[in-house]
Structure formats: C-alpha cells, structure tokens
Amino acid sequence: MLGTFDYVNPTRLHFGPEALDALRDELPRYGATVQLAYGGGSIKKTGLYDQVTALLDECGKTVVEDAGVMPNPTVEKLYEGVRLARENDVDLILAVGGGSVVDYAKAVSVSVHCDEDPWERYYLRMEDVACDVVPVGCVLTMAGTGSEMNGGAVITNHAQQLKIGHVFGENVFPRFAILNPALTFTVPRYQMAAGIFDVMSHLMEQYFSGADDNVSDYLMEGLMRSLVHASRIAVVHPTDYEARSNIMWTATWALNTLVAKGKTTDWTVHMIGQAVGAYTDATHGMTLSAVSPAYYRLVMPYGLAKFARFARTVWDVDGAGRTEQDVAAAGIDALEAWARDIGCVMRLSELGVTEGMLDGIVEATFPMEGGYHPLTKTETKRVLTESL
Ligand code: NZQ
Ligand code: ZN
C-alpha cells in the first residue's frame, strides 16, 4: 500500500541543447549580485565559463567569483563561501558544475544568515533551517547526484573524518536548473562511470525496501533499464546525445524525491560510501560500486522476492527451472558485471582503503533502519572486508 505523503518540487528545469539561453529568463528574477560558484577549472576549458559570464554581463549582474569547489566539498570551503556571500551581500548563488558545486552552493545558501556554525547545526546536529536562505540556481555539467532537483547537500570534514549529507527543505532546492546533456560530453570516463553507478545506487537504495508493490517500484525498474541501456552506449560513444540525455534525465528522476514517495527507503550503501569517502576522499560513485555487491549479497535472503523481481525485470534473468535464490543471486551477479563493464571500481583497496581503516569506517557509518536487514557493526565490517 502506498503510504501517506505530501509532494512538491519547486525546481524549474530547462533541458536540451539550448537550455543555457534560459538564463536570460531566470537571472532577471533575482537581485544584482551573483556569487558564481564553480569547480577546479573544467568550465574554463570547455568555454562554458565564458558563455555564463557573458549572459551574467548581458543581464547586468555584478559577479562575485567563487572558484575552486573541490569534488567532495569541504567544510573549510563552505566557511570561505559563506564569508564571500556575506561580504558581498549576494542575491543569488549560481552553481556551474557537477553535484559537488551544486551541493556546496546549497550548503552556503543555508549558512549565510545562520548565526551558528553550519557544520555543527546542519551536519552534526541535523537541525532544520531556521533562517533566510540565499536562492540557488545551477548549470549542471555532470550527471549523477540529482542535486540539481533536490534539497540535499553533502559536506566533508577531513579533520573529523566525517562525510555527512543533510536533506534540507523545499526552500533549498535549486530555484532553477539548466541541463544541457552535451555539456556532459567532456566528463572524464572515470567520472562518467561513477556518476552512472551513483544513479543506479540511488534507485536501488529506494527500491530494496518494503514489501509493497507500488508504482514507485515500476517507475524505478523503467529508470534502471533505461540507465543500463544508455550507459552501455555512452561508454563506447561518449558524445552520443541520446544516450547522454537519457542518463542525465534518469539521474534527475532517481533523486528528485518522487520515487521515494509513499514507500520506505534504505540508504545503507550511501552511509558506508560516505564513511569510505571521509577516510579516502574517493569519488562518490566508486565508493558505492565497490561495496554494493557484498552488501546486496548479505541482505538478499531478507528481501528475496524483491531481489528475484529485480533480476527478472531489470536484468532479464530467465528463471525457468531455477530457485528464487538462484534467480536473485543472478541479478546481483548481473549488476556486478555491468558495473565492471562500464568501468566502475569494484574493490575498496583501489580507492586507497587499507585494512587498518576498516574499524574507523565502521564507526563513521551511520546505521540505517529502512532496508531489508539493518546491519550490525560486525556485518558492516564484513561487507567492507569482502569489498577490500
Ligand atoms: O571541478 P571541475 O574542474 O569542474 O571538474 C569536475 C570534478 O573534477 C569534473 N567535471 C564535472 N563536469 C565536467 C567535469 N569535467 C569535464 N567536463 C565536465 N562537463 O568531474 C569531477 C567530479 O565532479 P563532482 O561535482 O565532484 O561529481 P558529482 O556530480 O558526482 O558530485 C559528487 C558529490 O555529490 C555528493 C557526493 O557525496 C559528492 O560530494 N552527492 C550529492 C547528493 C545530493 N545532493 O543529493 C546525493 C549523492 O548521493 C551524493 O552523495
Ligand atoms: Zn549518491
């Protein structure tokens, strides 16, 4: 049975090869000063920086440069961004980049008018936003996180060896998101594979939970099938617009909150992946691919029917003459083979994890209750050891 829920998604999304032109409509809705947040320079190499600054200039905006948002944005960078926003009294934060830049922009937006330390308030104490937020808009350059149409923002604190995500309210969703799939053509192969696995993981975290047969399960099966199909094309032909556009749109739908409505969700793989990220600063999607096969094999007996359905529906596993157990196991094998084929990292040791880190990673993993089998610390250690 579908649970009870409210649903709103306030992000206005512009999709397609000419989507950047929508900045001409969007920018006039905000005041004169725009904080332009971007990463390590990919947007300068691709020419996107010049296009965006020309449009900001055309719309009469004063630009506050905010460069150098790193993958897995840090708490120190967050403090720097907040200082910049306060000093310049900015009216809009425009994030141009991948999920890291968009997350960072959201984390700054909820911190500018907040009197407390944002890391402590939002990430350690998980408290709600109780201050004005600075609006955020984004031009997305990489598909994966879904940050373009949700209220989440993940921040890493290396000193405390913690990487934590906070899901903020609807006022923190980007006001607008610009998605031109062609902008993702230049994403390095490793990042593309990581982004694709991230999308699959978002879907699996929401699919493998609850016994209900509801519309979300069917939606997610369709999204997973489309993702697998498009990913196989994109790894061979990175500039195939159709494949990249389907991946980009699937990424948005996988985590724009819709498919979680009315059902329970898991998120254990993300909690383990974030703990791995806190210790290694590894690429997010790769932390998920490395631990997923071991995790799903461990929980499979507790949700056997759903795993068998996943095998049949997403991976076309032929169940004739086989036990449900065999069918379900073949689905996880197919997931693992696909991830390896598209170039995902399947071993934690390749991400810099050592045996000596495992106890610390177990402690840094937030326990989740919504999956088929909440892990004990011993089981979390087992998943990590088997993934090493
Ligand atoms: O920094 P630049 O130079 O721009 O290079 C980036 C970066 O090195 C590069 N890149 C992005 N677009 C490119 C490009 N290079 C060439 N051409 C382009 N078009 O790719 C690298 C990775 O970028 P990043 O933004 O870090 O990747 P992603 O989008 O995967 O974001 C990862 C972050 O998002 C968080 C992760 O934990 C991680 O911190 N997540 C956010 C979520 C959310 N808000 O809902 C959910 C996710 O589960 C995830 O946790
Ligand atoms: Zn993710």
Residue 90 has a pLDDT of 98
**42 alpha carbon, closest ligand:** 1
Cite the residue boundaries of each domain of the chain with CATH code 1.20.1090.10: 189-387
**204 alpha carbon, closest ligand:** 2
Residue 364 has a pLDDT of 97
Angle at 278 between CA 131 and CA 366, to 5 degrees: 70
Which runs of consecutive H residues, i.e. helices, occur in 27-98?
Answer: 42-46, 48-58, 75-88
CA atoms within 13 A on the CB side of 25: 12
Positions of the chain with pLDDT under 70: none
Euclidean distance between CA atoms 352 and 388, whole angstroms: 10
Residue 293 has a pLDDT of 98
pTM: 0.98
Q: Which residue among 141, 158, 244, 351 is best mutated to probe the pocket of ligand 1, counting the most ligand atoms within 8 A of its Cβ?
A: 141
Let me know if domain 12-183 sits in CATH 3.40.50.1970. Answer: yes
Let me know if domain 189-387 sits in CATH 3.40.190.10. Answer: no
Euclidean distance between CA atoms 218 and 100, whole angstroms: 30
Cite the residue boundaries of each domain of the chain with CATH code 3.40.50.1970: 12-183
Report how far ligand 1's centroid is from the alpha carbon of 370 (Å).
27
Nearest CA to ligand 1 atom 23: 98
Report how far ligand 1's centroid is from the alpha carbon of 180 (Å).
16
Q: Which residue among 142, 166, 287, 368 is best mutated to probe the pocket of ligand 1, counting the most ligand atoms within 8 A of its Cβ?
A: 142
pLDDT tens string 239-285: 999 999 999 999 999 999 999 999 999 999 999 999 999 999 999 99
Say yes or no: ipTM exceeds 0.90. yes
Residue 103 has a pLDDT of 98
Residue 98 has a pLDDT of 98
Residue 211 has a pLDDT of 82
Nearest CA to ligand 1 atom 18: 187
Q: How far lies 47's CA from each of 36, 43, 52, 80, 189, in Å?
A: 15, 6, 9, 26, 20
**78 alpha carbon, closest ligand:** 1
- Map residue 68 onto helix, strand or coil: coil
Q: Which residues line ligand 1 (CB under 6 A)?
A: 39-43, 46, 71-72, 97-101, 103, 141-142, 144-147, 150, 152-154, 165, 183-184, 186-188, 191, 195, 198, 255, 270, 284
Place of tokens 């979390």: 380
